[in-house]
Amino acid sequence: MESQCDISDSQYVCAVEHAEEEFFDQFGILNSQLLSDMTVLESQRVSRLPLGHYQGPGKPMPTLRNEAVVLPLSGPDVWEQNFDLGFCFDDSNHESDSTVQLKVPQPIEVCTSLPEKKSMPSKPLKPKQSFKDPRSEDEMKLMSHKKFAQETHKKIQWVVNMYHSWHVARNRNPDMVPISVDLDRPETITKQGLSYALCHFITKIKKINGEEYPPKTIYEMVICIQMFLETHGLFWKILDDKDEEFIKLRYTYDNLIKEHAKSGMGSYVKQAQVLSYSDEKFLWQNGFLGTSNPEQLVKTVLFILGLHCALRAGAEHHSLSSIGFRSQLKYFFPDGGEQYILYTEDLGTKTNSGGLKHKKISQKQVTIFPDTEHRECCPVYLIYKYHSLLPLNRKCEALYLRP
């Protein structure tokens, strides 16, 4: 039985090499180094042909088209890649010369133009950030003015009223040169006129009982007038050495405090006396402090919070709250430890308003620890007992309730 195609192994290898060279020359895929590595087809390459490949003389010749033949590349860093040689062995004619016809596939047409994008209906853009409702002009005018603490505002108003009284009384005296500076009309005030008016004002004021004001009080009066002018857009530093318009006022104030110093005024600064341990013991033993009745308990809590939390004035006591998140007193009951109370100062006080001036000042926090030796005087026990006795349905948030 004769074979369908009489072709030797050497002729088959040459045919494959010839097809490879024509294929790579046409498409320019591999360089000369790659061609040199592929000059010899080893048995490994032949054995990795698709199923049905040529296995020797007398075997059927396959028709290979668009089948993948794995070509090993040289070098350890080169990946094994698959190349579609695309050649075909035509076994329709079995001539004696065993001619093999090779067909190279045509290049694939590649579309370089992108499809046109369909126009989509535009959607309204949503704002990335929401804003508050605009404020009125009157509200913005109030926001642009400088604000002071409540106690400071009262002191400023007290000094302004005192100046008005002195100003009216002086202008009624025909023997005195009238003062043209009127604080009710700040738009008419000049630096020279204000300096002249304040020189006479600080030398004439005195208390209702006839006593002289101490130098520190006079200094605070001048500063209060300066802060009052700042609220009306006049940002003048009256007692600053850099402003020569007020040099006569500074000389007048300097000579005035020297006269007061000679008479002994201003040498003593009034301060609160220190409460000793014996004084506190006296209060407990004589019934001023204790828990026997509601009024006594309220006074005791007032004394304890003022002593342990260093509350400066009545406004800080008045701002203490006992309900919800507004409460400045937090109770802690650690497992296996002693309970304690943490006091956190509110923002908006005179010493910490929370504005630009006090932005670097942290809130004051004080920890109140229990007194295990004297339970009847334990601050944690007394504050917690008072808090537990407050009515649950109370509407007032204040800590101190009237008995």
Strands 340-344 and 365-368: antiparallel
The 10 Å Cβ neighbour count of residue 202 is: 19
- Higher local confidence (pLDDT), 376 or 59: 376
Mean pLDDT of 123-141: 74
pLDDT at 139: 80
pLDDT digits (tens, 9 = 90+) for 4-26: 445 555 555 566 566 666 665 65
Element (DSSP H or E) covering residue 68:
strand 68-71
pTM reported for the whole predicted model: 0.53
**Is residue 391 predicted with pLDDT exceeding 80?**
yes
Whether residue 183 is predicted with pLDDT greater than 70 in this model: the reply is yes
Instruction: Measure the CA–CA gap between 311 and 316, rounded to whole angstroms.
Output: 6
Q: Whose structure tokens read 């088959």?
A: 12
> What pLDDT does residue 163 have?
95
pLDDT value of position 396: 82
3-state secondary structure of 231: coil
Torsion of Cα atoms, 79 then 82 then 87 then 89, to 10°: 100
What percentage of the chain exceeds 90 in pLDDT?
27
pLDDT given for residue 121 in this prediction:
61
Cα distance between residue 216 and residue 328, in whole Å: 34
Q: What is the pLDDT of residues 270-313, one digit of tens each?
A: 777 788 889 998 999 999 999 999 999 999 999 999 989 888 77
pLDDT of residue 81: 45
DSSP codes joined into one string, 371-398:
-SS-GGG-HHHHHHHHHHTS-TT----B
d(CA 303, CA 297): 10
Whether 249 shows a pLDDT value over 80: the answer reads yes
pLDDT at 266: 67
- 240 half-sphere exposure, CB direction, 13 A CA radius: 8
With a cut of 50, say whether residue 103 has pLDDT above it.
no
Mean pLDDT, all residues of the chain: 75
pLDDT, greater one: 230 or 91: 230
Q: What is the mean pLDDT of residues 38-44?
A: 45
pLDDT attached to residue 225:
95
pLDDT above 70 for 109: no
pLDDT of 54 above 60: no
